[in-house]
Structure 1
Amino acid sequence: MAFGEQPAYLRVADDLRQQIADGTLPPHTRLPSQASIRSTYGVSDTVALEARKVLMAEGLVEGRSGSGTYVRERPVPRTITRSGYRTLGDCTPFRQEQADERVRGTWEARSERVEAAPGIAERLGIDAGEPVMCTRYVFRVGTEPAMSSTSWEPLRLTGRTPVMLPEQGPLAGRGVVERMAAIDVIVDNVAEEVEARPALAAEARVLGGLPGHPVLVVSRTYRAGCLPVETADVVVPADRFRVAYHLPVR
């Protein structure tokens, strides 16, 4: 293979991908069989199989047990906005979006006391094994899961206070900034990191789709000065939603 030349399986995948993009292979159409790919492109079974694997990894096709491989319907991505502006009190961006009556959004949450895993402890600046309040959310648009979120708050900060449970008590659902202010902790900055990775099996069960399909993960940490007060991982299906940022300029 000459320098810069693509491997054969990628050339085959490129051609099939173009056929999917231009509608030659529309959604729900069966992908050409391995034997057909081998014959059409003059490649080996191994190359044909690897080309199909590429398209599956990209989420363009899906296997159906006992039936074959089919082109997936590609939904038009919808936007989840993450805003630096404070509106509607201190609700989360998802809750702000749901204030629009045209959007039928719901969410559910469950909190439990757990021991901080090493990675979470590092993000919160505490020792591994320290108690934290872990809250798991699932947010839906209509009946469709839009994103999940898992947050952790150090109980050394919120334990035995009215805001210990994020979704219960007098400030239930009011957001981290307002809840922390109620116990005299002034949150003044937030950091977010965004990465793309394959969905874990547990995430796919909650959000729909298949393990390995791409998701966006927003790792967020709220701080009061240098003190981390909450950290969370927000998981969004990348093939159905995109994350948009709306930030103030000071």
Structure 2
Amino acid sequence: MPRPAYLKIADELRNGIRAGAYPPGTRLPTLVELAARHGVSQIVVRQAVAVLGAEGLVQTRRGGGTVVRVRPTVRRIAMDRYRVETEPQAQAQGAEPATSFTHDQRIGWADYRLERRYRRVAADPELAALFELPAGTALLRRRFVFFAREEPQQISVNYLPWDLVDGTPVADPAREPWPGGTPAQLAYLGHPATRVEEAVRSRMPTRDEAETLRMGAGVPVITVTRRMMAGDRVLEVCRDIVIPADRVVLDYAIDL
């Protein structure tokens, strides 16, 4: 069967974007121009543009035409990133505060901002299984939005046992951002983390996630479910860390 006209147009535009004929931030030819060029209706051209939008290559702006998306800087994140929060020199007196996020983003403390929302919740069955605690156990839920140079980069929803943090500075949102992040908080509470477990998945973002992270259409997110442990005890569960997939590469190394 012959390839549909809208897919042929999408192929041509995609190739032009990748070859640099349409650099990031520039407008594609108008619907009228593309329809005349290919001898098709504007409906067919709209279908082609919709294909590119679903792939995260372009954005259509009301009154502004269709624009090639500006690709964000991709950050490589290694599994050993938590060392910046636990190594003695990282928390030495006089050293600039840091967390794994500021390390990943290569930013200083002044360029880091954190939106936060705290509340007490009861563990649902999934959280209870992750914590290895009974369902209904009281937890502190903390939702964070991480900003680098005023650009939202990451959402994180983490949980801590209520009996561990109740009445402590860790349960006070005014104390955020906390130098050293969650590992430093667990150490402050007398339970330094000895193990980190992560499970990585991918999916499409929710509407709230896409709006919060200022994402373009068609871009998936990477989600990381994390557990921090001290010995056999699970002291923190992050469900989930949410990062736009076009902004990050996760690096994992295994010593054999």
Alignment of 1:43-54 (within 5 A): 48-54=45-51
Q: Quick one: distance in 2 between partners of 1:36 and 1:17?
A: 17
Q: Deviations over 1:77-110 (max 9, x none)?
A: 3445551533314963124568964972232433
Residue from 192, 216, 224 that aligns with 1:218: 224
Partner of 1:63: 60
Q: Quick one: distance in 2 between partners of 1:154 and 1:102?
A: 28
Pair 1:110-2:156 in alignment: no
Q: Report if the CA contact (8 A) 1:201-1:211 is conserved.
A: no
Alignment of 1:1-250 (within 5 A): 1=1, 9-33=6-30, 37=34, 40-41=37-38, 48-80=45-77, 82=79, 83-85=81-83, 86-87=86-87, 88-89=90-91, 92-96=99-103, 101=108, 104-156=111-163, 158-160=164-166, 162=168, 165=171, 172-185=178-191, 187-210=193-216, 212-232=218-238, 233-239=240-246, 241-245=247-251, 249=255
The TM-score with structure 1 as length reference comes to 0.75
The TM-score with structure 2 as length reference comes to 0.73
Code of the aligned partner of 1:230: E
Q: Deviations over 1:100-157 (max 9, x none)?
A: 649722324332212234433332223444321011222222121222211111224x
Q: Quick one: distance in 1 between partners of 2:214 and 2:241?
A: 15
Deviation of the 1:208 alpha carbon: 1.6
The runs of 4+ residues in structure 1 deviating greater than 6 Å are 42-46
**CA spacing shift, 1:154–1:47, aligned 2, 3 Å:** farther
**CA spacing shift, 1:98–1:196, aligned 2, 3 Å:** closer
Q: Once superposed, what is the RMSD of the aligned Cα atoms?
A: 3.7
Code of the aligned partner of 2:132: G
Aligned residues: 244
Q: Which runs of 5+ in 1 are unaligned?
A: none
Deviation of the 1:56 alpha carbon: 0.6
Code of the aligned partner of 1:70: V
- SS for the counterpart of 1:140 is strand
Q: Quick one: distance in 1 between partners of 2:78 and 2:253?
A: 10
Identity of aligned residues (%): 33
Moved more, 229-238 or 92-101: 92-101
**CA spacing shift, 1:202–1:248, aligned 2, 3 Å:** same
